[in-house]
Amino acid sequence: MSLPLGTAYINQEFVPIEEAKISILDWGFLRSDATYDVVHVWKGRFFRLDSHIDRFIESASRIHLTLPVDRPGLEKILAECTSRSGHDNAYVEMILTRGVSPAFSRDPRDAENQLICFAIPFGWILPPEDRHRGLAVAISDIQRIPPESVDPRVKNYHWLDFVMGLYDAFARGSTNVILRDGSGNLTEGPGFNVFVVKNKVIATPNRGVLEGITRRSVIELAGELGLTMEQRAVTVDETLGADEIFATSTAGGIMPITKIDNLPVSDGVMGDITKRLLDAYWDRHVDPQFSISVAEILCR
């Protein structure tokens, strides 16, 4: 099995990605008892690293995990993984698992939390060359795990609802999926937030979703571009007459959704508002207010 070239940090050392291993007794593996975050590096610069680390630290706190390093230490580890990987455009993940409990104790407080980081080549949900075609998405009847059960603001690996939704989408001729909540409203897809545009007003679900960093960027950029943005419940019916629909993710930025349930969204191509936001988003990557070079972190 061929793995992407990259570098990992695990057990307090840097190793090639193929040598990174965790114990089968780690609660992260056995019970999805972990949190994580993903930041990307573009042309040698981390994009919104502070925001990703803020969310990672907050997520860890919410589920009673403790980072074994301080914030500057984490930044250095992420930069070192990226530098050693040799990738100027990289997908960089930080993971904190519950770890292994002595004598297989069932008390999570006994476990020693484990930090794992890695950098591999940048991965796209939708490659740039396919943006003209966009994403073909199904809206599944499978319900997203309710926020009363698992807080989606804590980035987590509880993805069986998404995986089953993907199989539902594949069976219906689509390549990706959006799940509904218990009231039938839109939530999110596997690794992406959703936005619906009608009459130049942009709406995005505000409950039962991860508060994505790219989602935040779009909300900010919409304000700067003078566009109206609403964070609220978004119904499935709103997708039927939408002028534009798009998705946002660290793994790809802003991506047009051009088909919903095998029907074209408007004229079936990327819309003007999506394109304006997409261009502004990538322009922001060179802004030192939002990005920092790998080399600068390593030299601190």
Kindly indicate the confidence band of residue 14, based on its pLDDT and cuts at 50, 70 and 90: very high
Distance from C-alpha of 266 to C-alpha of 230, rounded to nearest angstrom: 20
| Res 298: pLDDT | 98
- Encode pLDDT of 178-211 as tens digits: 999 999 999 999 999 999 999 999 999 999 999 9
**Four-way CATH pick for 128-284: 3.30.70.940, 3.20.10.10, 3.60.20.10, 3.40.50.261:** 3.20.10.10
- pTM of the predicted model as reported, rounded to 2 decimal places: 0.96
- Encode pLDDT of 240-265 as tens digits: 999 999 999 999 899 999 999 999 99
Question: Do residues 44 and 293 touch, judged by C-beta distance below 8 A?
Answer: yes
- Encode pLDDT of 124-172 as tens digits: 999 999 998 999 999 999 999 999 999 999 999 999 999 999 999 999 9
- Encode pLDDT of 209-223 as tens digits: 999 999 999 999 999
- Encode pLDDT of 84-98 as tens digits: 999 999 999 999 999
| Res 3: pLDDT | 81
Distance from C-alpha of 136 to C-alpha of 290, rounded to nearest angstrom: 31
* Phi then psi dihedrals of residue 108, to 5 deg: -60, -20
CATH number, domain 7-121: 3.30.470.10
| Res 59: pLDDT | 98
Asked whether the predicted pLDDT for residue 1 surpasses 70, the reply is no
| Res 237: pLDDT | 96
Domain residue ranges in the chain: 7-121, 128-284
Give percent of the chain with pLDDT exceeding 70. Answer: 100
Kindly indicate the confidence band of residue 2, based on its pLDDT and cuts at 50, 70 and 90: confident
Which H, E and C letters describe the chain, residue by residue? CCCCCCEEEECCEEEEHHHCCCCCCCHHHHHCCEEEEEEEEECCEEECHHHHHHHHHHHHHHCCCCCCCCHHHHHHHHHHHHHHHCCCCEEEEEEEEEEECHHHCCCHHHCEEEEEEEEEECCCCCCHHHCCCCEEEEEEEEECCCCCCCCCCCCCCCCHHHHHHHHHHHHCCCCEEEEECCCCCECCECCEEEEEEECCEEEECCCCCCCCHHHHHHHHHHHHCCCEEEECCCCCHHHHCCCEEEEEECCCEEEEEEEECCEECCCCCCCHHHHHHHHHHHHHHHCCCCEEEHHHHHCC
- Tell me what the pLDDT averaged over the chain comes to: 97
